[in-house]
A and B are shown apart, each in its own frame.
Chain A
Amino acid sequence: MKKNTMMRIASVLLVVVLLTTSVISGTFAKYVTSGSAADTARVAEFGVVISAGGQLFGDTYKAVGEGNSIVAWSNASAGTVNSGTEDDNVVAPGTLNNDGLTFGVVGAPEVKVAVDFAVTGSDIILKQGTGYNKTTTSTNTTDTFDLATDYNPVIFTLSQDIGGGYTAVAAAGDTLEEIAAYLNGLDAEYAPNTDLATKIGSFKITWAWAFDGNDDADTLLGDLAVNNALTDTANYNLATEFSVNISVTQID
């Protein structure tokens, strides 16, 4: 009997609870309601760094055995080769630059980018020909020499480091004109998050003018630098220049 009473009370309570729940939930629904949404974004990273260092030519050179090929100009008689004027860079047989000129691009931008190279280069050259006088002051017409091919006394080497150190790029050639053409061909677009250090990395240009190369041609070039006296100036170039301009631009 006691159990039945308890069961009855429990049943009634269950029904009452069920009914009041619906009533209470209805009451709550009448309050003020609100909602909010938010979103945050950060500025995408660019962080591309274009660097350049070192120097390609110098105004004073020490002998190879004395360490660095280019040294700071101190006076007109310093070193084994000296331009005579500070900042007036020169090259001569036996000079070289193993430290070279370096330039490169690093960074992994979160945007698509285009990398553009604007490179120019010109070389010292004595062009293929016959009957070159061994010196510009020579009057002896038999004292001549021939060049079967163009003579580029300064041999350049382009190396690239995309991780793991510099490696010579054979395809780039060994004149500044060829190297410039090679670098200009590296223009490319890169997808976001491309690590440019592994695609472009760092370049280094080194060079050497062999001391024991073509003595006749070397001497003529040296004399020409003083007199500049060949009748056909199209046959030679006495100045070597190199300029590089790299730009990394976001593209849409």
Chain B
Amino acid sequence: MKKSNKRKSGAVWLVVLILFICVAATTMAFLSRLDNFLLDDSGAISLLGDSDNGKDKDNQSSATQSGSENAGSTSQQGNKKPTNPGFEASDNNTVWSTNTKVEIFRISYENGEKVVTVQSDGGDKVIAPGTENSYVFKLKNTGDVALDYTVEIDAFCTPQGTEIPIESRVNRYDGKWIAGSGTEYADVAQLDKAEDSATLGAGRYTYYTLDWLWEFESGDDERDTALGNLATEQDLLFTIVIKTTATESANPNDQSGISAPQMGDNTHFTLLITLAICSFVVMISLIIYERREKRRENAEAKKVEEKEDI
């Protein structure tokens, strides 16, 4: 009787061990999936060719395809029910949340000979005549349904009424200018309230490039000098805010945007989590069962001993 109980207990522990390994394996798989959120794959080349699970062969190398070209190719996804919308705005360093601090401006600037020509004294970001920078941000549809998104830009100087001669332009990946143009920069007033709206297909992304500059030879050295001198007495600030909003599109199968490269790992995220949860529940149940069995056996053994004593 004791031998049989021992064998039974050993078997249970073996199952528990196997389940524990399963939990560990699925947890690791889950964690490995997090890489997709940490690494920027915008520059990667698709290993599988088509990024839409082979549904849209025409989009195989559509890194520069515009939304209108893709808008009609939706028939293959007609049966797929949109269930999980997701949207992500980011740059090369940061995934945006709310008022995320990004690097549109810099603490120091170099000239063509890599000599520092402007350097903030206190670690603040600064602008000065001759400074310029480009900022690229990416909007990605991480869900399985098309999204309508809007990009809005606010640009303003503080204190109000200060006129800082910053010029800028904003370009979408497909060549559309939402502020300025290829040959002309927009002033602060034009950059302020610049906006763009478009649709982003499931798994697709788009990106925008914001260029700004303060011309070195603007033709008004006195104004530039006056601003630089006034800056020693009070902070003259220039702020750019980029706001993005996304909602489910009326056409959930729209394929606008750049197709994201496929990295070869098609494991179902949800399945992995479900497996982990199931394994965990079974493991806990077995532990409870095993303890109850032990307790029952101990009670029986006690009864037998008591009987023998009598």
A128 smallest CB distance to B (angstroms): 48
B16 at the interface (CB under 8 A from A): no
**CA–CA, A46 and B231, complex, Å:** 7
**CA–CA, A192 and B119, complex, Å:** 6
With A43-B231, A45-B232 known as contacts, the answer to whether A37 contacts B241 (CB < 8 A) is: yes
Stretch at the interface among A27-35, A83-91, A95-103, A227-235: A27-35
**CA–CA, A37 and B94, complex, Å:** 10
A11 at the interface (CB under 8 A from B): yes
B236 smallest CB distance to A (angstroms): 4
The reply to whether A43 and B238 form a contact with Cβ atoms under 8 Å apart is yes
Best-buried of A4, A34, A37, A193 by chain B (most CB within 10 Å): A37
The reply to whether A45 and B228 form a contact with Cβ atoms under 8 Å apart is yes
The reply to whether A192 and B118 form a contact with Cβ atoms under 8 Å apart is yes
Residues on B with beta carbons closer than 8 Å to the beta carbon of A153: none
Q: Which residue of B lies closest to A252 (CB)?
A: B130
Stretch at the interface among B65-73, B97-105, B170-178, B302-310: B97-105
A65 at the interface (CB under 8 A from B): no
B180 at the interface (CB under 8 A from A): no
A149 at the interface (CB under 8 A from B): no
Which residue of the partner chain, among B124, B126, B245, contacts A34 with CB atoms under 8 Å? B245
A243 smallest CB distance to B (angstroms): 23
Chain B stretch 181-230: residues in CB contact (< 8 A) with chain A? 216, 225, 227-230
A38 at the interface (CB under 8 A from B): yes
Residues on B with beta carbons closer than 8 Å to the beta carbon of A109: 228
Residues on B with beta carbons closer than 8 Å to the beta carbon of A32: 245-247
**CA–CA, A39 and B248, complex, Å:** 28
The reply to whether B117 and A252 form a contact with Cβ atoms under 8 Å apart is yes
**0/1 per residue, B114-135, Cβ < 8 Å to A?**
0111111100111111110001
A127 at the interface (CB under 8 A from B): no
Interface range, B side: 35 or more
Which residue of the partner chain, among A11, A15, A47, A252, contacts B228 with CB atoms under 8 Å? A47
Q: Which residue of B lies closest to A7 (CB)?
A: B288
Residues on A with beta carbons closer than 8 Å to the beta carbon of B246: 32-34
Best-buried of B119, B125, B164, B285 by chain A (most CB within 10 Å): B119
Residues on B with beta carbons closer than 8 Å to the beta carbon of A4: 292
With A11-B285, A41-B125 known as contacts, the answer to whether A29 contacts B84 (CB < 8 A) is: yes
**CA–CA, A108 and B229, complex, Å:** 11
A40 at the interface (CB under 8 A from B): yes
A36 at the interface (CB under 8 A from B): yes
Best-buried of B143, B229, B242 by chain A (most CB within 10 Å): B229
Q: Which residue of B lies closest to A29 (CB)?
A: B84
The reply to whether A34 and B101 form a contact with Cβ atoms under 8 Å apart is no
The reply to whether A35 and B232 form a contact with Cβ atoms under 8 Å apart is no
The reply to whether B99 and A29 form a contact with Cβ atoms under 8 Å apart is no
The reply to whether B239 and A40 form a contact with Cβ atoms under 8 Å apart is yes
The reply to whether A251 and B117 form a contact with Cβ atoms under 8 Å apart is yes
With A14-B284, A36-B100, A37-B242 known as contacts, the answer to whether A112 contacts B118 (CB < 8 A) is: yes
A191 at the interface (CB under 8 A from B): yes
**CA–CA, A26 and B105, complex, Å:** 37
With A35-B244, A46-B231, A110-B120 known as contacts, the answer to whether A11 contacts B126 (CB < 8 A) is: no
13 sample A-B contacts, Cβ–Cβ < 8 Å, listed by A number: A4-B292, A7-B288, A11-B285, A29-B143, A30-B84, A37-B241, A39-B101, A42-B124, A42-B231, A43-B230, A43-B238, A108-B121, A110-B128
| Closest 10 pairs (CB-CB, A-B) | A46-B228, A41-B105, A47-B232, A192-B119, A44-B128, A39-B104, A35-B96, A35-B89, A252-B130, A41-B125
A43-B238, A44-B128, A47-B229 given; 7 more Cβ-contact pairs under 8 Å: A29-B84, A37-B96, A38-B100, A43-B228, A44-B228, A192-B117, A192-B118
